[in-house]
Structures are given as structure tokens and as C-alpha cells.
Amino acid sequence: RSNWQTHPPPPWICLAATFRNWPFTEGCACTPERMAAAGFVHCPSENGPDVAQCFFCFKELEGWEPDDDPLEEHKKHSAGCAFLSLQKDPTNLTLQEFLKLDKERMKNVIKKEISQKVTEVEDTAKSVRREIENLVS
């Protein structure tokens, strides 16, 4: 077994690895390490090179400034995040605490998927309604 399998890195190191092309690195409050410690992963897009999303609550934030504090921004925009409510180092979680955090994350996954499906159905309904109205007129 590799050393990584027997002694995995702290979770924020794995999250920090997603920030390879992050625009803020040194002399900033929102460094990759601090972003990861606040629960974020980097999800850049063509139009948003600084998009970061919480791995747990899925809150997306962009428009970062060099002096933005990742933890404070996370609290400001997603105060109910289960990761923020831990108030302890993630490496010191008990199994029960980890499972509770994972359960909350899965609830958020399901909510996000349901929201996307509802939007799809609503968009399809609007399109069908327009087609029916065009047939009638």
C-alpha cells in the first residue's frame, strides 16, 4: 500500500489541489490553502475563472478580491452550511461527525438535482404551452 492510502493527506490538501489555476496565490487572503480550508473547490469556467464552490453545501461564489477572507465569505453567503457548523478541524472528526457531514452533503446533492429537474420540467412546460398557443392562433 502506498503512503497516501495508509496516511491520507488532510482533506483541505485534496481540495487545494483543485486551485491549480487560481488567480490569487501570494500576498492575498484568498490563497488556495485558505479557500480549501473554508471548504471550497475551484470550478473555473470560461466566463468565471475565479468560481469556487463549497464541496458540502454547493454554494458558488465568484468575483473574489485579493483581500476577501474565504471563511467569512462562506459564512456570509451560506451560514447554514454543515461544514461551517463543525467548528473543528476536519481531520479530527469522529466517524459519527463525518457521517453526519456526509449525510448533509448528500441532502444538498439531492436538493440541487431536484431543483435542476424542476427547472427542466418548467422550461419544457413553457415550450409546450407556446406550441399549443401557436396551434390555436
CA distances 114 to 16, 100, 124, Å, are: 29, 21, 15
Asked if pLDDT for residue 8 goes beyond 60, the answer is: no
User: How is residue 112 annotated by DSSP?
Assistant: H
Give this prediction's pTM: 0.77
Average of per-residue pLDDT values in the chain: 89
CATH fold of 1-85 reads: Inhibitor Of Apoptosis Protein (2mihbC-IAP-1); Chain A (1.10.1170)
Terminal Cα-to-Cα distance of the chain (whole angstroms)? 70
Residues 86-129: tens digit of each pLDDT:
878 777 888 899 899 999 999 999 999 999 999 999 999 999 99
Quick one: 52 exposed, middle or buried, by C-beta within 10 A (0-12, 13-18, 19+)?
buried
